[in-house]
Structure 1
Amino acid sequence: MAEAHQAVAFQFTITPEGIDLQLSYQALNQIYLSGLRSWKKRVSRMRNSVIKGVYPASPSSWLFVVIATLVTMYMHSDPSMGLIAKIQQHLLNVSLSAQGQTVVSALVFSTLLWLSLILALRFCLKLLLSYHQWMFERHGQISNTTKVWVTLVRLFSSRKPLLYSYQTSLPHLPVPAIKDTLSRYLESVRPLLSDVEFKQMTELASQFESTLGNRLQRYLKLKALWATNYVSDWWEEYVYLRSRSPIMVNSNYYGMDFLYVTPTPLQAARAGNTITALLLYRRKVNREELKPVGRVPGTVIPLCAAQCERMFNTTRTPGAETDVLQHWQDSEFVAVYHNGRYFRLWVYCAGRLLSPREIEYQIQRILDDSSPPQPGEEKLGALTAGDRIPWSQMRKQYFTSGVNKRSLDVIEKAAFFVTLDDEEQGMRGEDPVKNLDCYAKSLLHGKCYDRWFDKSFSIVIYKNGKNGLNAEHSWADAPTVAHLWEYTLATDAFQLGYTEDGHCKGQVDRSLPHPQRLVWDIPSEAQVQRSLAVAQALADDVDCHVFPFRDFGKGRIKKLRISPDAFIQISLQLAYYRDRGGFCLTYEASMTRLFREGRTETVRSCSNESCDFVKAITGRHCPPLHCMRLFQLASEKHQNLYRLAMTGAGIDRHLFCLYVVSKYLGVESSFLKQVLSEPWRLSTSQTPVQQMELFDLKNHPDFISLGGGFGPVADDGYGVSYIIVGEDMINFHVSSKYSCSETDSHRFGAQIIKAIQDIMTLLSVDSKTSSSSKSTAQPETKKLL
Structure 2
Amino acid sequence: MAEAHQAVAFQFTVTPDGIDLQLCHEALRQIYLSGLHSWKKRFIRFKNGIMTGVYPGSPTGLFVVVVGYMSSTKYALVDPTLGLTAKLGAHIPLSRYMSEESQRLVGGVLVGTGLWVTIIFIMRNVLKCLLSWHGWMHARHGQVSWKTRIWMVFVRLFSGRKPMLYSFQSSLPRLPVPPVKDTMKRYLESARPLMDDEQFKRMEGLAKDFEKTLGPKLQWYLKLKSWWASNYVSDWWEEYIYLRGRGPIMVNSNYYAMDFLYVFPTNLQAARAGNAIHAIMLYRRKLDRAQIKPIYILENRVPLCSAQWERMFNTSRIPGEETGVDTDTIQHMNESKHIAVYHKGRYYKVWMFYDGRLLLPREIEQQMERILADKSEPQPGEEMLAALTAGDRVPWANARKTYFSRGKNKQSLDAVEKAAFFVTLDDTEQRYDAANPVRSLDSYAKSLLHGKCYDRWFDKSFNLIVFKNGTMGLNAEHSWADAPIVGHLWEHVLSMDPVKLGYTETGHCKGELHPSLPGPQRLQWDIPAECQNIITSSLQVAKALADDVDSHIFPFDNFGKGLIKKCRTSPDAFIQIALQLAHYRDKGKFCLTYEASMTRLFREGRTETVRSCTVETCAFVRSMINKESREQRLKLLKMAAEKHQQLYRLAMTGKGIDRHLFCLYVVSKYLGEESPFLKEVLSEPWRLSTSQTPLQQVELFDLVRHPEYVSSGGGFGPVADDGYGVSYIIVGENLINFHISSKLSSPETDSHRFGNNIKQAMLDILDLFQLDNKKADK
Superposed pair shares fold, TM > 0.5: yes
Describe the superposition over 1:310-369 as per-residue Cα deviations: whole angstroms up to 9, x where unpaired.
000000010113100000011111100001100111111121111100000110110010
Q: Hey, what's the Cα distance between the residues in 2 that align with 1:738 and 1:650?
A: 33
Identify the match of residue 760 of structure 1 among 763, 766, 770.
766
Q: Hey, what's the Cα distance between the residues in 2 that align with 1:420 and 1:372?
A: 16
Q: CA deviation at 1:81?
A: 2.7
Aligned AA (1:18): G
Q: Hey, what's the Cα distance between the residues in 1 that align with 2:706 and 2:431?
A: 19
Which residue in 1 is equivalent to 2:305? 304
Cα 1:739–1:754 change in 2 (3 A) is same
Describe the superposition over 1:156-200 as per-residue Cα deviations: whole angstroms up to 9, x where unpaired.
224010110000101100000110011000000100000010000
Q: Secondary structure at the match of 2:769?
A: helix
Q: CA deviation at 1:89?
A: 3.3
8 Å contact from structure 1 (residues 9, 24) kept in 2 = yes
Establish whether residue 44 from structure 1 lines up as the match of residue 44 from structure 2: yes
Establish whether residue 265 from structure 1 lines up as the match of residue 271 from structure 2: no
Paired residues in the alignment total: 766
Which residue in 2 is equivalent to 1:776? none
Which residue in 1 is equivalent to 2:691? 685
TM-score, length of structure 2 as denominator length: 0.97
Establish whether residue 563 from structure 1 lines up as the match of residue 570 from structure 2: yes
Note the 1:216-295 alignment, pairs <5 A.
Answer: 216-292=218-294, 294-295=295-296
Which residue in 2 is equivalent to 1:108? 110
Note the 1:640-719 alignment, pairs <5 A.
Answer: 640-691=646-697, 693-719=699-725
Establish whether residue 634 from structure 1 lines up as the match of residue 640 from structure 2: yes
Which residue in 2 is equivalent to 1:385? 390
8 Å contact from structure 2 (residues 320, 397) kept in 1 = yes
8 Å contact from structure 1 (residues 13, 20) kept in 2 = yes
Q: Hey, what's the Cα distance between the residues in 1 that align with 2:717 and 2:31?
A: 46
Q: CA deviation at 1:113?
A: 1.1
Q: Hey, what's the Cα distance between the residues in 2 that align with 1:320 and 1:642?
A: 38
Which residue in 1 is equivalent to 2:72? 72
Note the 1:427-466 alignment, pairs <5 A.
Answer: 427-428=432-433, 430-466=435-471
Q: CA deviation at 1:508?
A: 1.6
The root-mean-square deviation of aligned C-alpha atoms, in Å, is 1.4
Q: Hey, what's the Cα distance between the residues in 1 that align with 2:142 and 2:598?
A: 24
Aligned AA (1:152): F
Note the 1:356-755 alignment, pairs <5 A.
Answer: 356-428=361-433, 430-524=435-529, 525-620=532-627, 622-691=628-697, 693-755=699-761
Aligned AA (1:391): W
Identify the match of residue 355 of structure 1 among 355, 360, 371.
360
Note the 1:55-66 alignment, pairs <5 A.
Answer: 55-66=55-66
Q: CA deviation at 1:383?
A: 0.3
Aligned AA (2:648): Y
8 Å contact from structure 2 (residues 7, 24) kept in 1 = no
Aligned AA (1:644): L
Describe the superposition over 1:663-702 as per-residue Cα deviations: whole angstroms up to 9, x where unpaired.
0001100000000000000000000114252121111111
Cα 1:679–1:110 change in 2 (3 A) is same
Cα 1:759–1:335 change in 2 (3 A) is same
Cα 1:765–1:37 change in 2 (3 A) is closer
Which residue in 2 is equivalent to 1:84? 85
8 Å contact from structure 2 (residues 89, 105) kept in 1 = no
Which residue in 1 is equivalent to 2:317? 316
Q: Hey, what's the Cα distance between the residues in 2 that align with 1:50 and 1:298?
A: 28
8 Å contact from structure 2 (residues 5, 518) kept in 1 = no
8 Å contact from structure 2 (residues 57, 160) kept in 1 = no
Q: Hey, what's the Cα distance between the residues in 2 that align with 1:19 and 1:144?
A: 84
8 Å contact from structure 1 (residues 487, 692) kept in 2 = no
Q: Hey, what's the Cα distance between the residues in 2 that align with 1:499 and 1:78?
A: 69
Q: CA deviation at 1:144?
A: 2.5
Describe the superposition over 1:40-78 as per-residue Cα deviations: whole angstroms up to 9, x where unpaired.
000001111111111111111111111111112212110
Cα 1:510–1:186 change in 2 (3 A) is same
Note the 1:170-189 alignment, pairs <5 A.
Answer: 170-189=172-191
Q: Hey, what's the Cα distance between the residues in 2 that align with 1:574 and 1:583?
A: 9
Describe the superposition over 1:421-480 as per-residue Cα deviations: whole angstroms up to 9, x where unpaired.
111101126422111000000000000000000000001000110000000000000000
Structure 1: any 5+ residue segments left out of the alignment? 769-785
8 Å contact from structure 2 (residues 2, 520) kept in 1 = no
Q: CA deviation at 1:649?
A: 0.4
Q: Hey, what's the Cα distance between the residues in 1 that align with 2:36 and 2:242?
A: 39
Cα 1:637–1:766 change in 2 (3 A) is farther
Q: CA deviation at 1:14?
A: 3.2
Q: Hey, what's the Cα distance between the residues in 2 that align with 1:489 and 1:676?
A: 39
Q: CA deviation at 1:34?
A: 0.7
Q: CA deviation at 1:18?
A: 2.7
Q: Hey, what's the Cα distance between the residues in 1 that align with 2:148 and 2:435?
A: 55
8 Å contact from structure 1 (residues 252, 470) kept in 2 = yes
Q: Hey, what's the Cα distance between the residues in 1 that align with 2:82 and 2:751?
A: 74
Q: Secondary structure at the match of 1:548?
A: strand
Q: Hey, what's the Cα distance between the residues in 1 that align with 2:360 and 2:93?
A: 61
Q: Hey, what's the Cα distance between the residues in 2 that align with 1:693 and 1:344?
A: 35
Q: Hey, what's the Cα distance between the residues in 2 that align with 1:140 and 1:347?
A: 46
Q: Hey, what's the Cα distance between the residues in 1 that align with 2:298 and 2:572?
A: 14
- Larger displacement relative to structure 2 (655-664 or 5-14): 5-14
Q: CA deviation at 1:493?
A: 1.4
Q: Secondary structure at the match of 1:448?
A: coil
Q: Hey, what's the Cα distance between the residues in 2 that align with 1:703 and 1:142?
A: 32
Identify the match of residue 156 of structure 1 among 148, 155, 158.
158
Describe the superposition over 1:476-498 as per-residue Cα deviations: whole angstroms up to 9, x where unpaired.
00000111101011111111111
Identify the match of residue 118 of structure 1 among 111, 120, 130.
120
Q: CA deviation at 1:267?
A: 0.4
Cα 1:79–1:19 change in 2 (3 A) is farther
Q: CA deviation at 1:303?
A: 0.6
Q: CA deviation at 1:7?
A: 4.7
Structure 2: any 5+ residue segments left out of the alignment? none
Q: CA deviation at 1:766?
A: 11
TM-score, length of structure 1 as denominator length: 0.96
Cα 1:600–1:556 change in 2 (3 A) is same
Q: Secondary structure at the match of 1:733?
A: strand
Q: Give the percent of matched residue pairs that are identical in Structure 1 and Structure 2.
A: 64
Which residue in 2 is equivalent to 1:771? none
Which residue in 1 is equivalent to 2:206? 204
